[in-house]
Structures are given as C-alpha cells and as structure tokens.
Structure 1
Amino acid sequence: MISVSKLLCGLDAESDGLRYDAADGSKKPQISEEVQQRPVVVWNTTKRCNLYCEHCYAGADAEGAPNELSTAEGKALIDDLAEFGAPVLLFSGGEPMVREDLAELVAYAADSGVRPVLSTNGTLLTRDRARELKDAGLKYAGVSVDGLPERNDRIRGEEGAFDAAVRGIEACLDVGLKTGLRYTITEHNVDDLAGVVDLLVDVGVDRFCFYHLDYGGRGADISDVDLSPEATRRAVADLCDLTREYHDADEEIETLLVGNYADAGYLVEYADREMGTDRARLIYRYLRRNGGDPTGERVADVDPVGNVHLTQFWQGYSPGNVRDRSFGAIWSDESNPLLAGLRNREEHLSGRCADCAYQSICRGGSRLRALSAHDDPFAPDPKCYLTDEERGGEAALSRIESADGTATADD
C-alpha cells in the first residue's frame, strides 16, 4: 500500500512505522515501531460469499470450498503466524462474515499478538456483529464499495448491495470500530470515484483504499475493462488532487493506493511538479524504505484449504500447504525458485523494468499482471504508465541521486 495522504500531505497514520520506518515522527499509536520484516498475511477463511462480484480474485461463490480449514486448524495457523512474527492477519474470503467462528478466531489472533483486521463486503455487518468483533479485538474493518449505488450493485451482482454496505459501515462506526472503504477501479466505475469518497465522508469514513485491478480469479476475466495506462494515470492524478483538496479543507482523510507500484514513481513526479523537489525527495526516501511491490516478501496469502500464495491475488500458484508444513517453513524455503526469484527480482526484471530509474521503489509492479500479459513473471507490468522520460530521464536520475540520507518528520 502507498499512503497518498502521508506522502503528499504529511498525515500521520498508525502504519507509519510499519510502512516507512517513521514511527518516531508520527503522533498516532503505531502498529509497529520498525519497518516491516515479516509478511502481512491474508487468510481467505472461506470461498463462500453472499455476493458474486465481477472482479473477485478468489472466485468466490455461493458454496464454500470442500475441506476448508476448521476452527482448530485456523487457530494452529494463527499460532504459526505469531511464532513467525507476522504483524497483521487480514480475515478475508469469500465473505468472512459467513463463518460462525469468526469472532472466536479474531479473539485468538488478538490474544496471540497478531493484529486482526477484516476485509468484507459489509452487507452482513449489523451493529451486534460489529460490536462482537470489536470486543473480540478486531482493529479495523475494510468494507468494499465499488461505485455509487447503480454501478456498485451491478459490479457486485446484487441489487441493494450498496445500501447494505453503507449500513454495515454505519454499524461499525456506531460501535467505534475503525472502518474504511476498499474500491477496485476499472472502466466500469472510475467515474464514480470522487462521488463515492464525498458520500462516504458524509457517512463518517476517513480511510479509502483504491485498488488497481490485478488479473487473478474473476479479475482475469475482465482484464479488458481494466483502465488503460493513460486512464490509470488520470485516475491516480485525480486521487492525488482529491486528497490534497480534503487536506486543505482540514479534513483528515487517509487515502491509499494498492496494487500498482508505478504509483510510487508517479507520486515522486507529481510532488516534484506540484509541490517542489524537496517534497519529492522526502517522498522518494519514504518509498525506498517501503520497498516497492511486496509479492512474495511482505504480503502472503493462505486460501480456504490451507494453500499458501505469494499474494492474495495470485491464487493459481502455491509453494506449499499449512496442513503439511508450518507457514514459516514454507515462507522461508528459498529452494523454491519462484520465491527466491521474486526476492531477488532486480536480477531478473526485463524490458522497461530492467533499467527504470524508479526500480528501487517499484520493483517491477505486479508480477501477476506481467505473467498474465507475457507468460513471464519477470516481464514488464502492462499497467505501468510512467513515460520514458520519467523512467530514465536526467531529471529523474538526478532527483534519485540527490535523495540519499534520512527522511525527517513532516512539518
């Protein structure tokens, strides 16, 4: 994740230490005092879902997968993650709210020292369920909303899904559970972006995560409605402008971009153009600490039956199953050539990624999109929208070469 509000506006967040090694300069209580060493783990707790979203990376359906991890196996997984040092466990799906043991598992994670958070479509979140999860130790609920009512309901395959999600958000806010929006941008909903933000700000949401489409699950089936590089660039620019407008109006809105690390290079360029080179250099330093695309390193996934994946979107490949070996053993086994290659990807990146000036803060972007487009996990990400001048021009190189040193806290 790339925090637009942190980088452009200096807005403190509880992830500043984990993401940018900037805990000392933040006024918010921190998830971690130091930059992330172990992966955030997404657990797809079930394949069952009450909706049928067109871009679902997990391919969720009305029925769960055969032989999904039981409560006891889920707790064993959480023990594994705690021992390995995973900082955060994201309960996802399918729709995790359909699991009757969700609150029990959340409480077990919280008691084990692994920060529990939730990804949900929000439609099953009542005030009682929200309170139960908060009391169990849930720290955050990310609710998926993919447009204003008509577009959202069409994308999510259910009339009334938007209104139900908003009720779920309100239920979380009513019981004091930190809640945010998750929004996957495609041609189908890009025009609703600002309207959704404005509407949900009125509801009381102050955290917005904007996801680029990754080509996994049903997301691969709609790659033809993914934004073009040019349209992606415009959408990211609009989000940057929107974030600054809210900040200038004294609204502390946290905005994040997820799933396309070309955004990292673009934010440096945007800041240099709109805010000055000093700001661009500070942003570059933060992003270098963040480390670029986290696939196979700082993010991992466990699917409903225990298969480990290199990111939640890359469900088609697994280096092992937690029923056979511990998560830590699987994740640390660099005899796996793909896992080892991703962790040393600078040696393998090809094409425009190989000589990009922003390689250190992007690391090639989505390896899954590269595989989908080129049948090669180390080929260029087709969603890169940086110009040749931005990727390797004298201005970019000069700026990077001048960015050595330690980032300071924002004013």
Structure 2
Amino acid sequence: MISVSKLLCDLDAESDGLRYDAAEESERPQITDERQRRPVVVWNTTKRCNLHCEHCYAAADREGAPNELSTAEGKALIDDLAAFGVPVLLFSGGEPLVREDLTELVAYAADARVRPVLSTNGTLLTRENARELREAGLRYAGVSVDGLPERNDRIRGEDGAFDAAVRGIEACLDVGLKTGLRYTITEHNVDDLAGVVDLLVDVGVDRFCFYHLDYGGRGADIADVDLAPEATREAVTDLCDLTREYHDAGEEIETLLVGNYADTGYLVEYADREMGTDRARLIRRYLERNGGDPTGERVADVDPVGNVHLTQFWQRYSPGNVRDRSFGAIWSDESNPLLVGLRNREERLSGRCAGCAYRDVCRGGSRLRALAVHEDPFAPDPKCYLTDSERRGAKAMARIRGEPSEPPAD
C-alpha cells in the first residue's frame, strides 16, 4: 500500500512504522515501531460469498470450498503466524462473515498478539456483530464499495448491495470500529470515484483504499476493462488532487493506492510538478523505506484449504500447504526458485523495468500481471503508465539528485 495522504499531506497514520519506518514521526499509536520484517497475511477463511463480484480474485461463489480449514485448524494457523512474527492477519473470503466462528477466530488472533483486521463486502454487518467483533479485538474493517448504487450493484451482482454495504459501514462506525473503503478501479466505475468518496466522507469514513485491478481469479476475466495507462494516470492524478483538496479543507482523510507500484514513481513526479523538488525528494526517501511491490516478501495469502500464495491475487500457484508444513517453513524455504527470484528480482527484471529510474521503489510492479500478459513473472508490468522520460529519470529524478536533466524524448 502507498499512502497518498502521508506522502502528499504529512497525515499521521498507525501504519507509519510498519510501512515507512517512521513511527517516531507519528503522534498516533503504531501497529509496530519498525518497518515490517514478516509478511502481512491475508487468510481467505472461506470461498463462500453472498455476492458474485465481477473482479473477485478468489472466484468466490455461493458454496464453500470442500474441506476448508476448521476452527481448530484456523487457531493452529494463527499460532503458527504468531510464532513466525506476522504483524497483521486480514480475515477475508469469499465473505468471512458467513463463517459462524469468525468472532472466535478474531479473538484468538487478538490474544495471540496478531493484529486482526477484516475485509468484507459489508452487506452482512449489523450493529450486533460489529460490536461483537470489536469486543473480540478486531481493529479495522475494510468494506468493499465499487461505485455509486447502480454501478456498484451491477459489479457486485446483487441489487441493493450498495445500500446494504453503507448500512454495514454505519453499523461499524456506530459501535466505534474503525472502518474504511476498498474500491477496485476499472472502466466500469472510474467515473464514480469522487462521488463515492464525497458520499462516504459525509457518512464518516476517513480511510479509502483504491486498488488497481490485478489479473487473478475473475479479475483475469475482465482484464479488457482495466484502465488504459493514460486513464490510470488520470485517475491517480484525480486521487492526489482530491486528497489535497480534502486536507486543505481540514478533512484528515487517509487515502491509499494498492496494486500498481508505478504509482511510486508517479507520486514523485506529481510532487515535483505540483509541490516542489524538496517534497519530491522527501517522498522518494519514504518510498525507498517502503520497499516497492511486496509480492513474495511483505504480503502473503492462505486460501480456504490452507494453500499459501505469494499474494492474495496469485491463487494459481502455491509453494505449500499449512496442513503439511508450518507457514514459517513454507515462507522461508530458500529452495523455492520463484520465491528466491522474487526476493532478488532487480537482477531479473527485463524490458523497460530493467533500467527504470524508479526500479528501487517500484521493483517492477505486479508480477502477476506480467505473468498473465507476458507469461514471464519478470517481464514489465503492462499497467506501468510512466513516460519514457520519467523512467529515464530525465526530469524529477535529475532535480532530486541535483543533476542536469536531459531533454525529454516524449
């Protein structure tokens, strides 16, 4: 995740230590005082879901997967993650609220000192279960909303899904559970982005996570409606402008970009153009600490039957199952060539990524999109929207380094 509000507006957040090794700069209590050394883990607790979203990376449906992890196995997984030092466990799905033991599992994670958070479509949240989850130790609920009512309901395959999600958000806020928005941007809903932010700010939401489409699960089936590079650039620009406008108006909303680390280079370029070279230089230092695309390093996934994945989106490959080996043993297995390759990807990146001025803060972007389009996990991310001159470092990077810039070729 890339915190636009932190980088452009100096907004403190509880993840500053985790993400930027900047805990001492924040006045807020921190998830951890230092940049994470172990991955945040997404646990797809079930494949069952009451909706049918067009971009669902887990390809969830009305039925659960056969032989999903039991309550006892889930607790064993949590013990395993705690022993390995995992800082955060994201309960996801399918729809995790269809599991009757969700509150019990959240409480177990909290007791094990693994920070429990939730990813949900929000339609099954009520004041009662939101209060139970908060009292069990849940620290945050991310609710997926993908447009204003008509577009959201079409994307999510259910009439009334938007209104039900907003009721779920209000239920969480009513019981004091920190709640944010999750929004996957495609051609189908990009025009609703500002309207959704405006509406939910009025509801009381102050955290917004904007996801680029990754080509996993049903997301791969709609790659043709992914935003083109120039449209992606425009949407990210709009989000940067919107964030600054809200902060200038005194609204401390937290905005984050997820899933396309070309955003790192663009944020430096945006800051240099709109805010000056000193701000661009500071942003680049934060991004160097962040470390770029986290696939195979700072994020991991466990699916409903215990298979470990390199991110929650990369469901077609697994280096092992937690029923056979501990998560720590799987994640630390240096004999796995793909894991080793991803952790040393700079020397393997090819094409325009190989010589990019932002390679160290982007690290090639989505390896899953590269694999889906080029059949090579070290090929360029097809969603990179930086210009040739930006990738060469001819403009902002030259000024940041105090070097003369070469004339742009584009």
Q: Does residue 39 of structure 2 align to residue 39 of structure 1?
A: yes
Confirm or deny: 8 A CA contact 1:89 1:115 kept in the other structure: yes
| Structure 1 match to 2:408 | none
Residues 277 and 396 in structure 2, CA contact (< 8 A), matched pair in contact too: no
The alignment's TM-score, normalised by the length of structure 1, stands at 0.97
Shift of 1:398: 2.4
Q: Secondary structure at the match of 1:394?
A: coil
Which whole-Å deviations, capped at 9, do the CAs of 1:312-334 have from their partners, x for residues lacking one? 00000000000000000000002
CA contact (8 A) 1:21 1:34 kept: yes
Specify the SS of the correspondent of 2:395.
helix
- Which of 387-396 and 362-371 deviates more? 387-396
Q: 2:17–2:30: 8 Å Cα contact kept in structure 1?
A: yes
Q: Percent identity?
A: 87
Q: What residue in structure 2 maps to residue 313 of structure 1?
A: 313
User: Which residue of the partner structure matches residue 61 of structure 2?
Assistant: 61
Shift of the alpha carbon at 1:399? 4.2
Residues 279-318 of structure 1 mapped to structure 2, 5 A cutoff: 279-318=279-318
Instruction: Say whether 1:49 aligns with 2:38.
Output: no
- Confirm or deny: 8 A CA contact 2:277 2:400 kept in the other structure: no
Note the C-alpha offset of 1:57.
0.1
Instruction: Confirm or deny: 8 A CA contact 2:46 2:68 kept in the other structure.
Output: yes
Aligned AA (2:121): N
The CA distance in 2 between the partners of 1:187 and 1:58, in whole Å, is 21
Matched residue, 1:264: 264
Correspondence 1:215-364 to 2 at 5 A: 215-364=215-364
Shift of 1:137: 0.0
Q: Secondary structure at the match of 2:339?
A: helix
Question: Over the residues paired in the alignment, what is the CA RMSD in angstroms?
Answer: 0.9
- What CA distance in whole angstroms lies between the structure 2 residues aligned with 1:325 and 1:294? 23
Q: What is aligned with 1:408? A: none
Q: Deviations over 1:205-226 (max 9, x none)?
A: 0000000000000000000000
Measure the CA separation in 2 of the matches of 1:317 and 1:354.
Answer: 25
How far apart in 1 are the matches of 2:150 and 2:330?
43
Q: Which amino acid aligns with 2:134?
A: K
Alignment TM-score, normalising by the size of structure 2:
0.97
Contact 1:206 1:253 in 2 (8 A): yes
Structure 1 spans left out of the alignment, 5+ residues: 404-411
Distance 1:375 1:100 in 2: 40
Deviation sequence 1:138-175 (CA, Å, 0-9, x none) = 00000000000000000000000000000000000000
Partner Cα distance (2:396, 2:19) in 1: 23
Q: Distance in 2 between matches of 1:134 and 1:125?
A: 12
In structure 2, how many angstroms separate the alpha carbons of the residues matched to 1:277 and 1:396?
7
Whether contact under 8 Å (1:47, 1:65) holds in the other structure is yes
User: For residues 308 and 291 of structure 2, what CA distance do their matches in structure 1 show?
Assistant: 22
Cα deviation for residue 401 of structure 1 reads 3.8
Moved segments of 4+, more than 4 Å:
none
Structure 1 contact 357–396 (Cα < 8 Å) conserved: no
User: What is the one-letter code of the residue matched to 2:257?
Assistant: L
* Letter in structure 2 aligned against 1:268: V
Corresponding residue for residue 186 of structure 2: 186
Alignment-derived partner of residue 394 in structure 2: 394
- Whole-Å Cα distance in 1 between the matches of residues 325 and 11 of structure 2? 41
Q: d(CA) in 1 for partners of 2:381 and 2:34? A: 30
State the match for 2:127 in structure 1. 127
CA distance in 2: counterparts of 1:270 and 1:36, whole angstroms: 27
Contact 1:14 1:28 in 2 (8 A): yes
> Where does structure 2 lack aligned partners over 5 or more consecutive residues?
404-410
Q: Distance in 1 between matches of 2:56 and 2:117?
A: 19
**Shift, 1:402, TM fit:** 5.6
What CA deviation, in whole Å up to 9, does each residue of 1:245-264 have, x standing for no partner?
00000000000000000000
**Deviation string for 1:109-155 (max 9, x for gaps)?**
00001000000000000000000000000000000000000000000
The answer for the alignment partner of 2:374 in structure 1 is: 374
Q: C-alpha distance in 1, partners of 2:63/2:256?
A: 32
Are the aligned partners of 2:268 and 2:396 in contact in 1 as well (CA < 8 Å)? no
- 2:81 and 2:396 mapped to 1: Cα distance? 40
Give how far 1:394 is off.
2.9
Q: Which amino acid aligns with 1:168?
A: G
Distance in 2 between residues matched to 1:400 and 1:139, nearest whole Å? 38
Check whether the contact 1:281–1:402 (CA below 8 A) recurs between aligned residues.
no
Task: Please tell me the residue identity of whatever aligns with 2:322.
Answer: V
Q: Does 1:116 align with 2:116?
A: yes
Secondary structure in 1 matching 2:323: coil
Q: Which amino acid in 2 is paired with 1:117?
A: V
CA distance in 2, matches of 1:25, 1:206: 21
Q: Distance in 1 between matches of 2:365 and 2:221?
A: 20
Partner of 2:21: 21
Deviation at 1:400, TM superposition (A): 5.3
1:239-298 CA distances to partner (integer Å, 9 max, x unpaired)? 000000000000000000000000000000000000000000000000000000000000
